Chains A and B, each alone.
Chain A
Amino acid sequence: MSYDKRLNELSRSTGFPTLVLREFAECGLLPQRRETLDGMGLLRNLLERED
């Protein structure tokens, strides 16, 4: 699956617009584990920021 398609998929499961997810990936908030976009890592990061 291409990067853009993964991004679309993640947008559907998190509600964040793809543009925003792309930006999260650029700044490390959305980790790219094993060359994939790690949605759970994003949620963990979001949770840590709320604490």
Chain B
Amino acid sequence: MSSTKPQEEIQDEVNSKTDAQTAGDVKPTEPKKQSITTEKLQQSEKELTKVEELVTKTHDRQLWLASKTAIAVASAFSIDQRANPLVVIFEGGSGRRKSFVINLIEPDRDATEERLMRLDSFTPKSFVSHAANKKTKELEKIDLLPKFKDKTLLVKELAPIFRGREDALRENFAILTAVLDGRGLLSASGTHGTRGYEGRYVFNWVGGTTPIPPETDRIMSQLGNRMFRYEIVAVDHPEEDLMEFAENYEAKEIESEYRTAANSFVEEHFKRFPVNRVQPSEIRFGKPQIQQLVRCAKLMSIGRVEVIRTKPNWSSEIEYVSGIPEGEHRVIIGLKLLAQALALISGRSEISDEDLEIIRHIAFSSIPQNRRLMLRALLVKGGVLTSVDAEKELRISRPTARNWMKELGATGLADYELGHENQPDRLTLSKPFSWLLEKDADQEGESPEDDASGEAAPIEGNAESH
């Protein structure tokens, strides 16, 4: 079952930041004042645009939005009252340039090393070590947790953490769940007794992985999911673009140029907005935007709930039963922080639809793969999908279609209806999520004739791609 935390407990975590100041490493801060100025925002926008122009010269917009998200995660330390680590894992098949996103913000100077830390591999046990061949005093030098504090951890390949034997996965995610609460980690062993760190230990994390297997999804949802995912899909580029890329791309120089630009942005960002100096209230949400954010949080928490597959003795049908979804509060806090960081680096003190499109993509991406695909199919079909449609349109077998439909139905995102006689099974978008199909106010009341006007409209804003 998913672990949930009541709102009061999450508020305690926010407040524990103050307690942590007595724990040693947070210096007393000056009285909080307005830190955002128009000049600083303009500077931010200008510098981020520079990085964007550079990246989109040779890479697609999809990769730029992913890169911008990674920069936002790294820059989020400027925002005060962060309760939990912000973790975004870029997920996609091999060769999707996930590592480009992470390489982009790899530190290349002392100033950014203060906020970014590259690790190519690690095991969750190394957060607080209990190595038997080391003295307790030496372990303090090995422990990773204190080294990460107020830094963004960059790990290009997390597949070893997301794959493996079930007992190893459980052990890893039990540690990760505790650490990603942001309140330190205490663990015990026969050799070293109880040791670890108490207080506020908040770090952020950007990682990459190949698609996460359903088994790992299940374990993560049982132990408490603390990670946001960001799906990157493969794009086929036109031959002429690839030829131009082949002729002009000089990996070493270009990637190092990008990295320098991204590092300069991060360095200047923390000069403009030092750690914890921006008050959350300085980056505003409008009512419709906060509603969208809350809806995305609900979509994510319900969409990634644990679903147990059982085959009861009394039935030949496989049944899918939902666990208890995680509380939305933690998800809201994380998504809100990320949206604010996206706005801040873009040079805005207000959340825009552009930020929310990324938040929405993360909400969809964080739903396990098969459910995500079935949900998209259901929405594309206007909220009603039959097993015949799913089989035909998605070119999957009827049993697979039915199983995926049942699984999505078990989450509560949709209502599943078993077919009878010649009727196919049917999936209908559930009422609490009907907003997923709501049209913008300006689209409502459009007549069918409007359709004709936009057909075959040229694609504007031609994005450069390699």
Residues of A within 8 A of B (CB): 1-6, 8-20, 22-29, 32, 35-36, 39-40, 43-44, 46-50
Known: A1-B443, A44-B394. A13 touches B380 (CB 8 A): yes
Closest-by-CB residue of A relative to B461 is A22
Known: A11-B357, A22-B461, A49-B233. A27 touches B238 (CB 8 A): yes
- Residues 351-377 (chain B) with a chain A CB within 8 angstroms: 357-358, 360-361, 363-365, 369, 372-373, 376-377
Residues of B within 8 A of A (CB): 60-62, 65, 93, 211, 233-238, 357-358, 360-361, 363-365, 369, 372-373, 376-377, 379-381, 393-396, 436-440, 443, 446, 450-451, 453-459, 461-463, 465
Whether the pair B455, A36 counts as a contact (CB closer than 8 A) is: yes
Docked pose: A9 CA to B442 CA in angstroms: 12
- Given contacts A2-B454, A14-B380, A47-B396, 12 further A-B pairs with CB under 8 A are A5-B443, A8-B440, A8-B443, A12-B437, A13-B436, A26-B459, A26-B465, A27-B236, A40-B377, A40-B394, A44-B394, A50-B369
By a CB distance below 8 angstroms, the chain B residues around A48 are: 395
Nearest-CB distance from A30 to chain B (Å)?
10
Whether the pair A40, B357 counts as a contact (CB closer than 8 A) is: no
Nearest-CB distance from A44 to chain B (Å)?
6
CB pairs A–B below 8 angstroms (19 shown): A2-B450, A3-B455, A3-B459, A5-B440, A13-B436, A13-B437, A14-B364, A14-B379, A15-B372, A16-B361, A17-B65, A20-B361, A22-B61, A22-B461, A23-B463, A27-B237, A43-B376, A43-B380, A44-B393
Whether the pair A9, B61 counts as a contact (CB closer than 8 A) is: no
Nearest-CB distance from A9 to chain B (Å)?
7
Whether the pair A9, B235 counts as a contact (CB closer than 8 A) is: no
Whether the pair A5, B61 counts as a contact (CB closer than 8 A) is: no
Nearest-CB distance from B96 to chain A (Å)?
10
Whether the pair A40, B380 counts as a contact (CB closer than 8 A) is: yes
Whether the pair A15, B360 counts as a contact (CB closer than 8 A) is: yes
By a CB distance below 8 angstroms, the chain A residues around B446 are: 1, 5
Docked pose: A36 CA to B440 CA in angstroms: 19
Nearest-CB distance from A23 to chain B (Å)?
5
Whether the pair B443, A9 counts as a contact (CB closer than 8 A) is: yes
Closest-by-CB residue of A relative to B440 is A8
Docked pose: A3 CA to B451 CA in angstroms: 9
Which of A6, A18, A22 meets B454, CB within 8 Å? A6
